[in-house]
Chains A and B, each alone.
Chain A
């Protein structure tokens, strides 16, 4: 017997473990998109992903310029890894990237968090990573709801149409 019934997603749980601009944004776009679709949304930031919710760093994230084969220079030329390692290149590329993102009306991470929580989404920081980096609750953006363990995060993954996405 085949089941052809199309059931929409009820809940998504997203995990972000990387702190570069593109990975944090990917997580935030997916989280915000889910909230906008009426899907219950929870996001867990861990390890270097914590940079995406640290007040001091979140809106100054950088793009990966070394070891990134998808990276191109203007004119579609390849971007040599050694070039990406030069001083200021990463900063220059990152600021160019941020301005291109801004042109598309995509908000910076702090504003994204506000949009996600405005729609009822919830943001969490990983306790293990917080302890490891010796951080405190007040280091994080106000919209970060709590510092929790991965076990507590999994406990939220109840219900039939729930998905966990690791970005």
Chain B
């Protein structure tokens, strides 16, 4: 666990860079985290992030399949939005835990 200043706020991160506390999340934090991975967040990205946060808060196990059926993006678009880690990166930028699903 470590502390890091992101977008002017002190954020607690896990060793793998996920937010310890989902309530520390803000759009500015997400934008800055995404920049570090070379991804510029757009409105579409935020729609996905909001969906993940909502599902996660409801206790759902997340998978790319579920995001693909959300009506926001299909799986191909999800890969385009978050290249190299559709679920990993989106979960990280959404301020929720590391995904535990195998699909």
Contacts and interface: CB of A to CB of B under 8 A. Distances in A.
A interface residue count range (under 10 / 10 to 19 / 20 to 34 / 35 or more): 10 to 19
B74 interface: yes
A118 B76 contact: yes
B4 interface: no
Contact of A120 (B61, B79, B102, B103): B79
B88 A118 contact: no
Contact of A107 (B76, B79, B103): B103
B68 A115 contact: yes
Given A106-B103, A118-B74, A36 B83 contact: no
A41 to B, nearest CB: 12
Interface residues of B, number: 20
B8 interface: no
A29 B103 contact: yes
B88 A37 contact: yes
Interface in B19-58: none
B81 to A, nearest CB: 12
Interface of A: 29, 32-33, 36-38, 105-107, 111, 114-115, 118-120
